[in-house]
Amino acid sequence: MVAAGLMLAGCASPPASGGHSTSVPSAAAEGMLRTPRAVTVLDAGDGAKLCLGAIATSLPPQCGGPGVIGWDWAEWSGAYTEAAGVRWGSFTLTGSYDADAFTFRPADVRPGNEGGATSAGSWSGEADFSTPCDPPEGGWQVRDAARTTAESMQRVFERAMTLPGYAASWVDRSRIPSVGAEATPEQQLAETAPHPELTIVNVTVVGDVTAAETALTEVWGGMLCVTAAERTEADLLSVMSELMPQSGSHQVLMAAPNTRAGRIDLQVIHDDGALQQEMDQAYGVGTVIVRSVLQPVG
């Protein structure tokens, strides 16, 4: 099994531009892996490390990761920042990864242009706060204004979490004019006014959707979408409880339940497919989705 780590995002002052690329003909050889974008190489005095997971938001930044074999900062003058005895810079790398030795041997290195301390460990993709239900006949409308308040919205979420088979709940705020249908999840969250009359409450359950909807409309008179889920929140948290205390050789960067999608997102430095197969056999296909930071060349 594997150990789940808390994923933190961080940044620091940007490295200076400059440097050059180094490569050897074997960069595209079979078994070579690459970083999907520029990531930070950091050296706190104990050797260069490839920051694929969490980066502490400090100056200088701090991170852990596989050691970078053969790294020579003299080759990258002008492409890195130095502070308090720590050197770091943004680079894209291609090379070979040794999980047992926890090292990365680069065959091709190019200076990045993203600036700051960058990690490849953040989960790709955006959270989906849209409403899966089709609009009801006559369109989305408030059914009872007296039960469409900030207080009743709080009560409907409290009621949802007590439902048999509860899986997830969220709000769709795309109908708020200042947010708009094309707003990103971050923009939706930035809208601080509650606007319950313009908010669609979404709940997913495993089991009787009609009974769940009936229970929720007792406390909520606003727009509501209740849909079926494959896995309950309790099921996903049970899987997480098994993954969290385990330790192994896959160097987990992030593990988190995605209740809206009904899965556990598990991000590792590299998986050749064996870990995904293990997760499928242990928990069922689609329960745990494994993604590797280091990707095969080509």
For residue 186, the model assigns a pLDDT of: 62
Q: What is the pLDDT of residue 66?
A: 93
d(CA 207, CA 167): 10
**What confidence score (pLDDT) does residue 53 get?**
78
Q: Which two tokens stand for residue 113?
A: 């242009």
Number of helices (H), then strands (E), in the chain: 5, 17
- The Cα angle at residue 18 between residues 12 and 24, in degrees rounded to 5: 110
Domains by residue range for the chain, with CATH: 22-111 (no CATH), 145-228 (no CATH), 233-296 (3.30.300)
* Per-residue pLDDT tens over the stretch 77-125: 889 999 999 999 999 999 999 988 999 999 999 998 544 455 555 554 5
Mean pLDDT of the chain: 82
Q: Is the pLDDT of residue 255 over 50?
A: yes
Between 155 and 6, whose confidence is greater?
155
CB 226 within 8 A of CB 213: yes
pLDDT digits (tens, 9 = 90+) for 121-155: 555 455 678 999 999 998 999 999 999 999 999 99
Q: pLDDT, tens digit, for every residue of 216-246?
A: 999 999 999 999 999 999 999 999 988 876 5
Give me the pLDDT at residue 142, please: 96
- The angle, 0 to 180 degrees and rounded to 10, between the axes of the packed helices 209-217 and 150-160 is 150
Q: How far apart are CA 88 and CA 19, in angstroms?
A: 13
Sequence-distant (6+) residues with CB within 8 A of 152 are 196, 219, 220, 221, 222
Tell me how crowded residue 172 is: count the other CB atoms within 10 A of its CB: 23
Question: What pLDDT digit, counting tens, does each position of 19-74 carry?
Answer: 444 444 344 455 799 998 889 999 998 999 999 877 887 888 888 889 999 999 99
Q: Are 40 and 88 in contact (CB under 8 A)?
A: yes
Task: Decide: helix, strand or coil at residue 250.
Answer: coil
pLDDT tier at 175, thresholds 50, 70, 90 = confident
